[in-house]
Amino acid sequence: MAEWFGDNSGLLGLALLDGLASAGLIFLVAVGLNLVFGVLRIINVAHGSLYAIGAYAAASVGIVFASMGLPAWASLPALVVAAALVGGILGPLIERLVLRRIYGQEEVLQLLVTFALFMILEDVQKLIWGVQPVQHDQAMRLLGTYDVPFAGDVVPFTAYQLFVLPGVALVVLVGLAWFLRRTLTGRVIVAVTTDREAATAMGIDARRVFLLTFTFGAMLAALGGALSSPTGAIVPGIGAQTIVLSFAVVATAGLGQTEGAALTALMIGLGRSIAVYFEPELEVVVPYIIMVAVLLVRPQGLFGSTVARRI
């Protein structure tokens, strides 16, 4: 084992760093999905499309900024601008025009409606950006690479993936936990999540909370996509892969578990990355092996708790 570790230390280091960066992106999408389900009680399959549109929009905004002759560092705020635009525009539109019509309906109907919305948004992406890969990696090239010491070896890794992706995920994790626990609006959201009927009876405008929560969740999904855009080519179908991974994270962590989603995203991100480097044929199934193994032992998820169901 020691000999294997020594011979493969550089490769293992790359796998761990890649897994950390991947976990940051998965967490951003999964925590938005978790928040939306907790408040609206809707499994939003179209959440993956918001990730993909965020990626396409970020690349487009970056290209526009570059064509305007703006300095290279402007490519970094361009990512946030794109995510805010996508979430701020599509979030309220989807919530008001689609989701408000299916609140309280059967889960199957909600799933079918959001799946149909996902398919529509997939075609919208193709109409706007086509089917050819789109890429704008100026933000990643701007920060260059960083030599990471690991097990007596030096692993070169992009500074963008090493610092920006996990850093933003950490800021979102801490900021969201503070917002939900320390602010009035956050406590209102928690109240609606815990007991919607009681919160409404106390005078809380549930529809306003739904709109705010869904818009924020849409921004998180778009932010994940925007941050992923400099790391590789954006192609049709990335939204489907991301939403499936996000569901795996949410199910494994347990519904409503923000901190748990972060730890589960780290487990799945590292598991996928290690499989890519050492057992590529297992890359696709590793997240679901982790999910099934957890759910067989704890059906409520690693950090979830069993609650009484109101009848």
Q: What distances in angstroms separate CA 270 from CA 48, 188, 257, one per listed residue?
A: 21, 35, 20
Q: Could you tell me which residue, 192 or 168, shows the higher pLDDT? A: 168
Q: In which band, very low, low, confident or very high, does the pLDDT at 246 lie, cut at 50, 70 and 90? A: very high
Mean pLDDT, to the nearest integer, of 177-204? 87
Q: In which band, very low, low, confident or very high, does the pLDDT at 130 lie, cut at 50, 70 and 90? A: very high
Give the lowest-confidence range in 4-13, 102-111, 188-197.
4-13
HSE-up of residue 214 (Cα within 13 Å, Cβ side): 27
Give the lowest-confidence range in 2-11, 109-118, 155-164, 244-253.
2-11
Give the lowest-confidence range in 12-21, 47-56, 124-133, 196-205.
196-205
SS3 145: strand
Is 62 part of a structural domain of the chain?
A: yes
Q: How many domains does the structure of the chain reveal? A: 1
Inform me whether the pLDDT recorded for 208 exceeds 80.
yes
Is 7 part of a structural domain of the chain?
A: no
Is 257 part of a structural domain of the chain?
A: no
- % of the chain exceeding 90 in pLDDT: 62
Is 3 part of a structural domain of the chain?
A: no
Provide the total of helices (H) and of strands (E) in the chain, helices listed first.
Answer: 14, 2
Inform me whether the pLDDT recorded for 1 exceeds 70.
no
Q: What distances in angstroms separate CA 73 from CA 11, 62, 142, 227, 232, one per listed residue?
A: 31, 10, 7, 15, 19
Mean pLDDT, to the nearest integer, of 230-239? 92
Share the mean pLDDT of the chain.
89
Mean pLDDT, to the nearest integer, of 232-258? 88
Q: In which band, very low, low, confident or very high, does the pLDDT at 172 lie, cut at 50, 70 and 90? A: very high
Inform me whether the pLDDT recorded for 79 exceeds 90.
yes
Q: In which band, very low, low, confident or very high, does the pLDDT at 270 lie, cut at 50, 70 and 90? A: very high
Inform me whether the pLDDT recorded for 2 exceeds 80.
no
In the chain, the N- to C-terminal Cα span, in Å, equals 55
Mean pLDDT, to the nearest integer, of 182-211? 87
Contact 261, 31 (CB under 8 A): yes
Is 90 part of a structural domain of the chain?
A: yes
Q: In which band, very low, low, confident or very high, does the pLDDT at 69 lie, cut at 50, 70 and 90? A: confident
Is 20 part of a structural domain of the chain?
A: no
Is 31 part of a structural domain of the chain?
A: yes
Q: Could you tell me which residue, 310 or 77, shows the higher pLDDT? A: 77
The token duo for 251 is 């199910």
- % of the chain exceeding 70 in pLDDT: 94
Is 4 part of a structural domain of the chain?
A: no
The token duo for 214 is 């869904």
Mean pLDDT, to the nearest integer, of 221-250? 93
**Residue 29: which domain range?**
25-230
